[in-house]
A and B are shown apart, each in its own frame.
Chain A
Amino acid sequence: MATAVKRAEVVAEDEEVGEQLRAYLEDLDYDVEVKREVETSVRVKVDIIVYHVSPDAARVERRSKARPQTPGKDPPRFWLDAVHTLSACAPDTPILVAVPAGEDAADKALDSGATDVIEATATPKVFRRRVELLEALSHAAAPAAGGALLSVPLPELRDEISGRIDARRVAGYLQVPLRQLCGALRLPYGRVHKTPDAAGLQRAFAPLVRVLELADTALGSREAVRMWLNRPLYELENDSPLAVVLAGEAGAVQTLLENARIGVPG
């Protein structure tokens, strides 16, 4: 089986340093392109970018953070702007910035879009280790194929033709009369009954449907969600999530579930 080619871009004003970094990266099986300055045009996608800050460049940069650059202009003159431009042009690519030792350049680089920094005097072994860590991070951070972006939780709450939330189906899922649900959301029952998937209703139903999606993801079945919806919770002032939804406060239940999902304490 063929191994995918790993590509690296090195940006170094100093030709000798550029070639040294090329050698380090080639040892790690990278196909390396060395440039003298940052290009603002369309770029080839690479797996890692290494930017070298020379001692002279560090000395003339007195600012602590890059300023936004005008797209399509000449290459940035100052190194902070160059790092910022790289991170803007290649937002998914790890950028390792090699800085002179003993300066505050490392902090400045991180503030301007570098993924990580390393002292330019680092040994080949340290450099190799840092690049390997960045590779590992990059793989860990990559979204899984077919992730949440391309899924529709609880499709049974939506109309197959319009794709929109259907109020009647939501009421059916909750096992409450549509009229009662409309009252809770302060919506005119007649209008909802006539066109339950109307575009104008989507905003009102979205928090409630989000609650059902989160609960379904956490609990796994419609039966478990219904039991949870009907169980009084201290966090909801000893009312059940369903009662809180029907009191027009679905946002409280949504916050409960969203915070549980990301681990924010109660």
Chain B
Amino acid sequence: MIPANELPACLAGLPRIAVAGVFWRTVAMRHVRGAPPGAPAGSPPRPLWPGGPVLRGARYTRAGGCNALYLAPDAAAALAEVEAVLFGDDGTITPGPAHDPLAVFAATVDLPAVVDLCDAEVQRALRTSYAELTAPWLRAQERHRLGRGDLPPTQALGEAACAAGSILALRYPSYRRPGVKNLVVFTGHLAALNGRVDLVDESGGFLDRLP
């Protein structure tokens, strides 16, 4: 990855693509039985609540950084991201370890300004690679927190992309399911950049949309 101080200029020159369609998210059931943290009591559940990743950090989200919504392009990939199912190298699917009940939500997205990290040209411009984009980041984050190292490269990239203000989302490769392209949406920019994410629920049990 290019140094953090070079990221803003590089990101400014990268092509934007539009991404639209149905994407998926897995949420623990207990988190959709009530209001998300910080919301007024009695508020409705928010299956699209984007505040989780900033609590302790995520692959493209620094702890305490920008709110972000992580989405997968199909339900199986969304389940794989939380290890509810495991994909073998040959594409076989096996159940993951036992866990609390999960809910899988679909959302229609319309994102006109996405940087595609799966694009070889984009990777070249950023001097990154599939290996770096799918590398473990937890210990690097902890070492950074303890003052022993840099921010994980993917978090530095996510931070710069969000700070740019002109990028709605990054499309990135999943490490749990090779070949799958996930999205991390910077929800704070949806209104300004004409993006939107609408929960699919014709039953009306959950009403959520961003912005």
- Contact: B28 with A262, CB < 8 Å? yes
How many contacting A-B pairs (Cβ < 8 A)?
104
User: Which of these, B45, B56, B81, B145, contacts A266 with CB under 8 Å?
Assistant: B81
User: Which of these, B33, B52, B53, B136, contacts A141 with CB under 8 Å?
Assistant: B33
- Contact: A252 with B138, CB < 8 Å? yes
Residue B176 CB within 8 A of the other chain? yes
| CB of B50, distance to nearest CB on chain A (Å) | 11
Residue A55 CB within 8 A of the other chain? no
Quick one: which of A237-264 are within 8 Å of B by CB? 237, 239, 244, 248-249, 251-256, 258-264
Residue A87 CB within 8 A of the other chain? yes
Residue A85 CB within 8 A of the other chain? no
- With a cutoff of 8 Å between Cβ atoms, the chain B residues found around residue A256 in the complex are 138
| CB of A223, distance to nearest CB on chain B (Å) | 15
Q: Tell me the complex Cα distance, A236–B45, Å.
A: 32
Q: Give the number of chain B interface residues (Cβ < 8 Å).
A: 39
Residue A115 CB within 8 A of the other chain? yes
| Chain A residues touching B, majority SS | helix
| CB of B194, distance to nearest CB on chain A (Å) | 18
Quick one: which of B21-68 are within 8 Å of A by CB? 25-28, 31, 33-35, 40-45, 52-53, 55-59
- Contact: A87 with B56, CB < 8 Å? no
Q: Give the number of chain A interface residues (Cβ < 8 Å).
A: 39
- Contact: A252 with B142, CB < 8 Å? yes
Quick one: which of A214-249 are within 8 Å of B by CB? 218, 234-237, 239, 244, 248-249
User: Which of these, A93, A248, A265, contacts B42 with CB under 8 Å?
Assistant: A93
Q: Which 6 A-B pairs have the closest CB atoms?
A: A141-B34, A265-B81, A94-B42, A252-B142, A252-B138, A92-B41
**Interface of B with A (CB < 8 Å)?**
25-28, 31, 33-35, 40-45, 52-53, 55-59, 70, 72, 81-83, 99, 102, 136, 138-139, 141-143, 145-146, 175-176, 182
**Interface of A with B (CB < 8 Å)?**
87, 91-95, 113, 115-116, 134, 137-138, 140-142, 218, 234-237, 239, 244, 248-249, 251-256, 258-266
